[in-house]
Every structure is written in structure tokens, then in C-alpha cells.
């Protein structure tokens, strides 16, 4: 480096000139670098009439280099500003698209819009996949689109690499090198507020390092918008599901549920409730409960619940349906909003009527069973003194026969003997019926059975002023029956008939032979009364246990009849005309002719001692 | 005590001798402002300074980011950590490089000072997350270099700064109050001069300049408030040492919008230790 020539004034002038120019340059450069990026910078420094020496050259080149650098930075800055404003427009554009995403309702719509917007406006991509979940519960693959087998493998591989977890934690979009057809896998977190609710994975042909900030920002913005929409859709879904769930509960509830608001207006009554109360929704929904006929006790219970704010459990309410009554079991509680504000009341109820009736019937049939046992014991006790009476009367009778003047008395003693025999038959019948266990089949004529049972009810019929007539086919084939059971059948039929008839009625019992189907021999018994008849809608129920229209009935009679007839491979049917009368038809298979010896005929006059214990 | 204007001017002139940032940092700053810049371009720009590339890559692969696989290029790091994060890393790496002289003296312990800076960086990042500030890495950088003014004072007006430290020791007072009293300007003011000279990203300027007077912030009050609070928390938690042993008064108005409660602070305290450990790679650059 040679020293600067300093001797001549012109040199010093030139140096001053150069120094000025350099200073101006520095100023300009600083100016540019500091704020005014758009100004063109002159990089041309001229020194007139002077050959620059080495150090000055160095200085000038340094200045030039710095200048170029700064100008370069300034140009970058300017580009940045230009792009920034362009990108602001683009983002504005995207924003309107993302508004459409936010309006989409279902998950599929949202994801579809998101994917098509990204593809059209941001980056091309092939296969894509969506993971959904939460940071606490983890993420699972919930959808994949346009994925070839290779794409699917790559998506799987990416998942195991652990980038998903990183993105979930960092909440930022990343691009990772991929294997296979696409060089890059882009992970975009779907941020809803501060939470990641999903990750969209895109396989794209764009190389990892070709990504720009604007790409990242825009996919990120779209995905976050979609995330908010998804989250909203999920919440709406949840609410709907909750509502549906609640409605399902109401529908499947076998109990009735009735809710009223503070004014006592019915806001809810579930299907079971409607059917228990035997009402249609329009008759009651929205109406004042207290104005609904026969539900006033229910209304009172609920208004009490509202005013006291207290639960009431297992209350029995009696509703009056004209002559019909219904008993409800109700538990009532206030409906609370915000934990403590009463906004209504609800009652959950079941129909206790069948249970109550059943209870009553069970109680009554228990009582009947006890009576039956007592009667069997009593019958036994009665027969001993009875045979003593009969013996003595017979003795008396023989003596009287020898006294001609006692002739009129003989009529009396004969009558006494007949009556005693009748008592004997009744008692024997009762003892038969108290037997139980397996069928004890015996070959008998059905005529004898229907007649014998007649003796038992005769007295009651006479008392009621109702006639009892038998038309018996004397040539009937025998039947194989359990006497005790078969007597029950007719006893029940006779009793029902009597209960259905008023004075001057008449029961007609007819036996005959009939052939059913392919020449099968049957014995038919018609039990026809002239009573009230059976209401058409009851006909099919009368054989069901516990069906009764009588205030003191058990409803067991006909069900027992039915069971016994079936046990004997017989059939029972009914025909009835309301106001005219009812006819029960009992068919029993005839015993094969001569296949078994006839059951020992029990003569009506048989002494009690002979059958006792039989 | 009123300082002579000329003295302050003299001081500023000395401070302005501070070296400029390497042009690559300025270029990256400009590039990152352009949304159309690609990751490759950023990578290429940083690659012009191989030692900077190496330092940035080291940080990128550190436990601080905890990325599950090795990141082998700046361009890829850019698509993973984001353009702003890379810009911030380049800036941090450069600043650290400028002040790597760790000798210090018995009055101003540079090691403890950088620990304080790291603590404020980490807490700023956590607070950014809590208060949903847009860019967590930017918050980290702001916290990390918030007290850069102290280093500049220590390096360029060493004698004067020694006097300041003496005053702090003697009176157990706040460093920035001692600075203002003796020098007529404090390290936050110096940081402002630095940020102008370095043409730091605008968002970083106010957090540096106003971290002791957050009420003055107009352009980026959220980050300014974050750094203000992080600084105070760090002192309260005794993480490192910024040169004094006092805790400044919190400007409640500046942090009111954060809606933090006692349990948030407790939680910050609990996670900060582990997070600071992860960030220690930054101190390794010194
Ligand atoms: N001969 C009949 N005429 C009219 N209704 C009848 C007749 N027989 C049965 N019913 C109807 O069928 C119902 C059922 O009869 P069932 O013998 O099973 O029970 P019940 O007679 O009511 O009770 P219980 O036998 O305990 O006295 C009766 O309540 C009655 O309504
Ligand atoms: Fe400070
Ligand atoms: Fe500090
Ligand atoms: Mg009956």
C-alpha cells in the first residue's frame, strides 16, 4: 500500500471531494437501509480528474459492497411488502371460503370443503387422512380419501414415526419427507381455540423445501377454521344426541312420566303414560292438568310438589273412570333449574290396578282354598252322624210299616231318607273335589257326572227361583274322566250360569253323542242358560285367569274349567247373545267301546261308609 | 441528579460503536417478511454463514424443540419449526456470538446474567402459551435478549457500568434505577438503541425497550407485558441473576388482560425448571 500523495492542493481538494461523495453515499445507504426501501440507490461513484490510489479503491469497493448488500436487503424488503399486500388479498379471499366451511353442518361436508379449498387454493395433494381426538384421549384415524394402497402404507408409516404427537403438542403445521409416490407429507393441526381436535395429513407432490410461509399459514388457517366448524358440529351433535337419548328414555320407559310447568300445564307425557291413562296426546299435552277430568288428584299431587319443593314417593292415587276405577302408584319430584329453582314438577307412575286386583283375587282364592279344606274335613265328619240318622230312620220306617194307622207318617220318613241321601251325595261330591294330584281316570257316563253336580247346586237354584233341567241321552258312550276334576267343570259352569240369571231363568243341560273330524266319537254336553250373556269384547277373555266382571269374583272359574277339559283332550267353546243367554259346549272324547270294563257304578243310594276314603 | 446532555451523548456515541448484525440476519429478517419465501431460500441464506448454520441446526435438534427425528437441513427445520422460529434462532445465535466473551468480573457475573436471560426466555414462552400470544418462539427470543442492554453497557462503557454495579451493591437497589441515576439512561434505553441499529423485527423492539415500563408499549403491548412479568417472576424465583437482587414492582395494568390467577403462576413455577433445562442448549452457544 503506497502512501497517499498529500502535497498538492488539488489532491487535497479531490480528497475532500471523494470524502464528501463517500459520506453522501453512506448517508444514502443508511437512509435506504433504515426506512426508504423503494428509493433507487446509485452505486456509481465517480471521481473526476483523479486516479484513485489503492487504499481509496479498497475503501470504495467496501462501500460498494456494503451498498449492494443493503440495496439487496432493501429489495428483499420491498418484495416482502409487495407480497405481503398480495397475500393479504389472498388471505381475504380464503377467509370467505373458510366462512363457507364454518357454515357446513356435518363432519363430511366440512372435511370435503376443507380438502377441496386446500387443493384449489393452496397446494395440490393426492391421498389424505384425518385423525380426530383430543390430547387427553389420543387420536385415531377417522377418514382417508383418495389413498392408494401405497399411500395408506405411507400414512401408517408416518403415524408410527411420532410426528403426529409432535404436531399435536406444537400446534403447528409441518412438512416431512415421505416415501413412495409423494415426496412430502404435510401435517396440519386443526386447532379449535387452544385445543387440537384433529390432524389433517396430506400427501403432496410439492417438495419439502418448496414450502413457503404463505402455504403453511393458509393451510393452517383453513384447518383451524374447519376445526372450529367441526367442534361446533360435534357440540350440536352432542346436544341432539342428548336430546334423542332423553327422548328414547321417555319412549322406552315402561312407567308413565308426566311433567307440568309452574302453571300446572302438561309439558311432557310419554307414550307409556298415555296408554296407562288411556289418552291421546292432544287431549292432554299443553292443557292444565287440573282441568283434565279424573286427573285432579294427580294435579293436586304435582302442585303440592311444586309448592313444597319436596319429593313424594310411592303415592297411591285413585282415579275415577265412572264405575271403573284405576289405581296409580306415583312418585313425584320438583323439576329444578340451576340446582335450586323449581320450574315444574314431574310424576313417574305405574298402573297398579292389575296388581291391586290380583292381590284381591289371590286373597280371595286363598280364602276359598281354606274353605275347601274345611269343607272336606267337615264332609267327613258329617257322614258319620248322617249314616246313624239314616239307619235309625230306616229302622223307624220298618216299624211304621207294621202300623197301618201310621201310614201318613211313612211319607215323612221316606222323605227324610231321601233328604239324607241327598245330603250324602252332596257331601260325597265335595269330598271328591277336594282330592288333588294326578288324574285318576275312570270310565263313567257323563250323564251321571252332570246329574251329580246338579245335586250340589239344586238348592241354590231353587232358592234363586231358577230352573234346572237335564236332557240326557241314555245311549251315550262312556268317557274316561277324573271324576273330581270333571265335577269341578260342571260345578263352575252351573254356578256361572246361576250368577248370570235372574228369577225365572232356566239352565238346560243336554248330553248327546257327536262325531268330530275323521270319525272321532265325542260326547257333547251343552250347558245353556237364559242369563245376561257375555259382552262381545269379553268373550275371548273369559277363559283367562283372573278375568272377571263380578265384584266378588276371582276370575279363576272358567280358567280351571278350560284347563281340565284340555287335560281330558276335550274342547270347550262358548256362544252367547247379550240379553238372551249363554251356551257352553263341552266335548269329551268317547271312551273306546268295551276297551275297558265300566267303572264300578256308584249307586246314588250307596251308603257313605262304602265310599269314604275312596 | 440531572445528567449533562453532552455526557449522555458521549455515552450513546460509545454504544453505537457496537458492531452491526451480520448482513445475513438482516436478509433473513427481510425474507421472512415475505410470505412467498420458500424454506429452501431461507436455508440457502443461512448457509452463506456456515458457522451460523451449524449453531442453528444444533438448537433445532436440541431437547428444547424435542422433535422426534433428526433434522438435517435448515430448510427442513424451517418447514417444521416455522419461518419465524428460524429467524429468531438466527438472531439469537448471532447475538450470543457477539457477546460470547464470558470473562466478566466479580461485580457483573455474565454466567448468572445469561441464566437470568434464559429463565426470562422460557417463562416468556410459557406465558405466551398461557395468554395465547401468536408466536411462542418470538416470545422466547424476546425474553432471551431482553437485557441485552446490560451486556452492551458492560462491554462498551465498562468503567461507567462498573460504577453502576458498585452503586447497586452499596445501596441494594435495582440495576436500572442505578443506571438511570449514574448514566442518565438505563439498559432498556440502550436496548432500544441496539434494536434500532440492528434493525430488529418490530415486534421485538418494544419488549426490549419497555420491559421495565410496559405502559409505554403501543405496538406490541402483549409481548411487552409478557417479558415484564417473566422478568419479575424470574427474579422472584431466583433463576439466575440479572445484576441486582431486588424485585421490581409489577405493573398490574400491563398484565391485567392475561387473567392469570395464583394457580396459573404456581403451574408456571412447576414446569419452568424442566423447560429451562431443555433450553440450556442456548447457553452452550456462549
Ligand atoms: N254363563 C255366563 N253368562 C254370562 N257371563 C259369564 C258366564 N260365565 C262366565 N261369564 C263371564 O266370564 C267371567 C269369568 O268367569 P269365571 O268363572 O272365570 O270367573 P267369575 O265367575 O267371574 O269368578 P268366580 O268363578 O271366582 O266366581 C265372568 O266374570 C263373567 O263375566
Ligand atoms: Fe431488565
Ligand atoms: Fe431482566
Ligand atoms: Mg265363576
Q: Is the CB of A227 under 6 A from ligand 1?
A: no
Residues A607, A487, single domain; the answer is yes
Distance, CA A547 to ligand 4 centroid (Å)?
A: 10
Burial degree of B260 (CB within 10 A; 0-12, 13-18, 19+): middle
Q: Is the minimum CB–CB distance between A87 and chain B shorter than 8 Å?
A: yes
∠ Cα A406 A410 A412 (to 5°): 120
Domain containing A205 equals 104-243
We report the CATH number of the domain holding residue A500 as 3.30.565.10
User: Using CB atoms, which residue from A163, A166, A209 is nearest to B38?
Assistant: A209
User: pLDDT tens, B34-81?
Assistant: 888 999 999 999 998 888 898 899 999 998 898 988 899 999 999 999
Residues A595, A508, single domain; the answer is yes
Q: What pLDDT is attached to residue A104?
A: 73
Q: Quick one: which of A229, A206, A193, A31 has its CA closest to A114?
A: A229
Q: What pLDDT is attached to residue A424?
A: 79
Listed by number, the residues of chain A in 442-481 with a beta carbon closer than 8 Å to a beta carbon of chain B are none
Residues A110, A228, single domain; the answer is yes
Q: Is residue A475 part of a domain?
A: yes
Q: Is residue A495 part of a domain?
A: yes
Q: Which of A382, A404, A433 is the last residue of a domain?
A: A433
Q: What pLDDT is attached to residue A508?
A: 97
Burial degree of B28 (CB within 10 A; 0-12, 13-18, 19+): buried
Residues A81, A59, single domain; the answer is yes
CA distance A194 to A171: 9
- Count CA atoms closer than 13 A to B246's CA, side-chain side: 14
Residues A429, A508, single domain; the answer is no
Residues A191, A72, single domain; the answer is no
User: pLDDT tens, B246-266?
Assistant: 999 999 999 999 988 889 989
> Which residues of chain A lie closer than 8 angstroms to B38, CB-CB?
209-212
Q: What pLDDT is attached to residue B231?
A: 96
Q: What pLDDT is attached to residue B139?
A: 95
Q: What pLDDT is attached to residue A250?
A: 81
Question: Which residue's entry shows cell 265384584?
Answer: A551
Q: Is the CB of A529 under 6 A from ligand 1?
A: yes
User: Using CB atoms, which residue from B27, B69, B132 is nearest to A76?
Assistant: B27
> Which residues of chain A lie closer than 8 angstroms to B33, CB-CB?
77, 80-81, 84
How many CB atoms lie under 10 A from the CB of residue B257?
11
Residues A65, A164, single domain; the answer is no
User: pLDDT tens, A570-582?
Assistant: 999 999 999 999 9
We report the CATH number of the domain holding residue A277 as 3.30.450.20
Taking CB atoms and an 8 Å limit, are A77 and B69 in contact across chains? Answer: no
Least confident span in B13-17, B60-64, B77-81, B121-125: B13-17
Residues A330, A181, single domain; the answer is no
Instruction: Give the domain ranges of chain B.
Output: 5-21+101-285
Residues A454, A601, single domain; the answer is yes
Q: What is the mean pLDDT of residues B142-170?
A: 92
pLDDT at B162 over 80: yes
CA distance A272 to A350: 9
Residues A230, A259, single domain; the answer is no
> Which pLDDT band, with edges at 50, 70 and 90, does B3 fall under?
low
Taking CB atoms and an 8 Å limit, are B36 and A212 in contact across chains? Answer: yes
Helix ranges restricted to H, A253-292? 271-277, 281-284
Q: Which residues of chain A have pLDDT under 70?
A: 1-15, 18-19, 21-22, 25-69, 87, 91, 94, 97-98, 102, 321-324, 361, 364-373, 376, 429-438, 545, 594-614
We report the CATH number of the domain holding residue A148 as 3.30.450.40
Q: Which of A243, A266, A283 is the last residue of a domain?
A: A243
Taking CB atoms and an 8 Å limit, are B32 and A213 in contact across chains? Answer: yes
The count of domains in chain A is 5
Q: Which of A243, A271, A302 is the last residue of a domain?
A: A243
Question: Which residue's entry shows cell 230352573?
Answer: A467
The reply to whether the predicted model has a pTM over 0.90 is no
Residues A290, A368, single domain; the answer is no
Burial degree of A246 (CB within 10 A; 0-12, 13-18, 19+): exposed
Alpha-carbon distance B169 to nearest alpha carbon in chain A (angstroms): 40
Q: What pLDDT is attached to residue B16?
A: 84
Beta bridge partners of A266: A260
Contacts of A417-420 spanning 24+ positions with Cβ under 8 A: A417/A390, A417/A393, A420/A386, A420/A389, A420/A390, A420/A393
Q: Is residue A497 part of a domain?
A: yes
Pick the CATH number of B5-21+101-285 from 3.40.190.10, 1.10.3210.10, 1.10.10.2120, 3.20.20.70: 1.10.3210.10
How many CB atoms lie under 10 A from the CB of residue A370?
10
CA distance B74 to B54: 9
Residues A344, A384, single domain; the answer is no
Q: Is residue A248 part of a domain?
A: no
Q: Which grid coordinates are listed for A80? A: 416482502
Burial degree of B87 (CB within 10 A; 0-12, 13-18, 19+): buried
Q: What pLDDT is attached to residue A509?
A: 97
Amino acid at each position: 500500500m503506497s502512501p497517499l500523495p498529500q502535497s498538492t492542493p488539488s489532491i487535497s481538494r479531490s480528497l475532500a471531494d471523494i470524502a464528501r461523495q463517500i459520506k453522501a453515499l453512506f448517508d444514502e445507504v443508511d437512509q435506504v437501509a433504515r426506512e426508504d426501501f423503494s428509493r433507487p440507490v446509485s452505486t456509481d461513484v465517480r471521481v473526476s480528474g483523479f486516479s484513485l490510489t489503492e487504499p481509496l479503491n479498497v475503501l470504495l469497493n467496501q462501500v460498494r459492497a456494503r451498498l449492494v448488500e443493503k440495496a439487496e436487503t432493501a429489495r428483499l424488503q420491498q418484495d416482502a411488502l409487495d407480497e405481503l399486500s398480495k397475500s393479504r388479498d389472498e388471505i381475504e379471499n380464503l377467509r370467505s371460503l373458510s366462512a363457507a366451511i364454518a357454515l357446513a353442518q356435518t363432519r363430511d361436508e366440512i372435511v370435503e370443503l376443507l380438502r377441496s379449498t386446500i387443493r384449489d387454493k393452496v397446494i395440490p395433494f393426492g391421498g389424505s387422512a384425518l385423525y380426530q381426538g383430543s390430547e387427553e384421549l389420543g387420536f385415531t384415524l377417522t377418514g382417508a380419501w383418495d389413498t392408494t394402497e401405497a399411500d395408506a402404507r405411507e400414512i401408517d408409516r408416518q403415524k408410527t414415526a411420532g410426528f403426529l404427537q409432535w404436531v399435536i403438542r406444537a400446534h403447528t403445521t409441518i412438512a416431512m419427507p415421505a416415501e413412495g409416490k409423494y415426496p412430502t407429507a404435510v401435517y396440519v393441526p386443526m386447532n379449535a381455540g387452544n385445543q387440537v381436535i384433529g390432524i389433517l395429513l396430506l400427501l403432496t407432490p410439492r417438495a419439502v423445501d418448496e414450502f413457503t410461509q404463505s402455504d403453511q399459514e393458509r393451510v393452517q388457517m383453513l384447518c383451524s377454521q374447519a376445526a372450529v366448524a367441526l367442534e361446533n358440529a360435534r357440540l350440536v351433535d352432542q346436544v341432539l344426541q342428548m336430546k334423542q337419548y332423553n327422548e328414547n328414555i321417555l319412549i322406552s320407559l315402561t312407567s308413565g312420566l308426566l311433567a307440568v310447568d309452574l302453571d300446572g300445564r302438561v309439558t311432557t307425557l310419554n307414550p307409556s303414560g298415555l296408554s296407562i291413562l288411556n289418552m291421546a296426546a292432544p287431549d292432554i299435552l299443553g292443557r292444565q292438568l287440573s282441568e283434565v277430568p279424573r286427573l285432579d288428584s294427580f294435579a293436586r299431587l304435582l302442585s303440592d310438589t311444586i309448592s313444597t319443593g319436596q319429593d313424594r314417593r310411592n303415592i297411591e292415587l285413585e282415579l275415577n273412570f265412572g264405575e271403573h276405577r284405576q289405581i296409580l302408584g306415583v312418585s313425584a319430584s320438583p323439576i329444578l333449574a340451576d340446582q335450586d329453582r323449581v320450574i315444574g314438577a314431574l310424576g313417574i307412575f305405574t298402573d297398579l290396578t292389575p296388581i291391586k286386583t290380583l292381590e284381591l283375587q289371590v286373597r280371595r282364592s286363598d280364602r276359598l282354598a281354606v274353605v275347601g279344606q274345611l269343607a272336606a274335613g267337615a264332609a267327613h265328619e258329617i257322614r258319620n252322624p248322617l249314616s246313624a240318622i239314616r239307619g235309625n230312620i230306616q229302622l223307624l220306617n220298618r216299624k211304621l210299616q207294621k202300623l197301618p194307622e201310621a201310614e201318613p207318617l211313612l211319607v215323612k220318613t221316606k222323605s227324610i231318607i231321601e233328604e239324607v241321601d241327598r245330603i250324602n251325595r252332596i257331601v260325597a261330591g265335595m269330598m271328591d273335589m277336594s282330592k288333588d294330584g294326578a288324574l285318576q281316570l275312570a270310565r263313567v257316563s257323563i250323564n251321571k257326572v252332570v246329574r251329580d253336580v246338579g245335586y250340589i247346586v239344586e238348592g241354590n237354584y231353587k232358592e234363586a227361583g231358577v230352573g234346572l233341567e237335564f236332557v240326557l241321552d241314555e245311549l251315550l258312550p262312556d268317557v274316561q274322566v277324573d271324576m273330581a276334576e270333571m265335577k269341578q267343570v260342571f260345578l263352575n259352569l252351573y254356578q256361572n250360569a246361576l250368577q248370570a240369571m235372574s228369577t225365572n231363568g232356566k239352565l238346560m243341560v243336554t248330553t248327546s253323542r257327536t262325531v268330530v273330524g275323521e270319525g272321532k266319537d265325542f260326547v257333547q254336553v251343552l250347558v245353556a242358560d237364559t242369563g245376561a250373556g257375555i259382552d262381545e269384547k269379553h268373550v275371548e277373555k273369559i277363559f283367562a285367569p283372573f278375568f272377571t266382571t263380578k265384584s266378588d269374583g276371582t276370575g279363576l272359574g272358567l280358567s280351571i274349567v278350560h284347563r281340565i277339559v284340555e287335560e281330558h283332550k276335550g274342547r270347550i267353546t262358548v256362544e252367547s247373545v247379550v240379553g238372551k243367554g249363554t251356551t257352553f259346549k263341552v266335548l269329551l272324547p268317547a271312551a273306546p267301546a268295551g276297551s275297558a270294563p265300566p267303572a264300578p257304578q256308584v249307586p246314588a243310594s250307596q251308603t257313605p261308609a262304602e265310599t269314604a276314603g275312596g | 441528579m440531572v445528567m449533562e446532555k453532552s455526557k449522555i451523548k458521549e455515552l450513546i456515541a460509545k454504544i453505537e460503536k457496537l458492531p452491526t448484525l451480520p448482513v445475513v440476519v438482516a436478509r433473513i429478517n427481510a425474507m421472512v417478511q415475505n410470505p412467498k419465501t420458500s424454506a429452501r431460500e431461507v436455508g440457502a441464506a443461512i448457509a452463506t454463514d456456515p458457522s451460523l448454520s451449524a449453531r442453528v441446526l444444533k438448537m433445532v435438534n436440541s431437547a428444547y424443540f424435542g422433535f422426534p427425528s433428526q433434522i438435517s437441513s435448515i430448510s427442513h427445520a424451517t418447514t417444521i419449526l416455522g419461518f419465524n422460529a428460524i429467524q429468531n434462532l438466527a438472531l439469537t445465535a448471532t447475538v450470543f456470538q457477539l457477546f460470547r466473551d464470558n470473562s466478566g468480573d466479580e461485580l457483573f457475573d455474565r454466567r448468572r446474567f445469561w441464566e437470568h436471560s434464559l429463565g426470562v426466555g422460557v417463562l416468556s414462552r410459557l406465558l405466551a402459551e398461557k395468554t395465547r400470544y401468536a408466536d411462542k418462539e418470538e416470545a422466547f427470543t424476546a425474553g432471551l435478549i431482553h437485557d441485552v442492554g446490560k451486556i452492551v453497557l458492560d462491554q462498551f462503557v465498562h468503567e461507567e457500568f462498573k460504577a453502576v454495579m458498585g452503586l447497586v451493591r452499596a445501596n441494594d437497589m435495582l440495576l436500572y434505577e442505578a443506571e438511570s441515576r449514574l448514566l442518565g439512561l438505563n439498559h432498556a434505553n440502550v436496548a432500544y438503541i441496539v434494536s434500532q441499529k440492528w434493525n430488529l423485527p418490530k415486534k421485538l423492539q418494544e419488549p426490549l425497550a419497555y420491559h421495565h415500563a410496559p405502559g409505554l408499549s403501543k405496538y406490541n403491548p402483549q409481548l411487552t407485558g409478557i417479558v415484564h412479568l417473566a422478568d419479575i417472576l424470574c427474579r422472584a424465583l431466583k433463576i439466575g441473576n440479572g445484576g441486582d437482587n431486588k424485585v421490581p414492582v409489577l405493573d398490574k395494568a400491563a398484565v391485567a388482560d392475561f387473567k392469570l390467577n395464583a394457580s396459573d403462576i404456581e403451574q408456571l413455577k412447576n414446569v419452568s425448571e424442566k423447560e429451562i433445562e431443555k433450553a440450556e442448549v442456548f447457553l452452550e452457544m456462549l
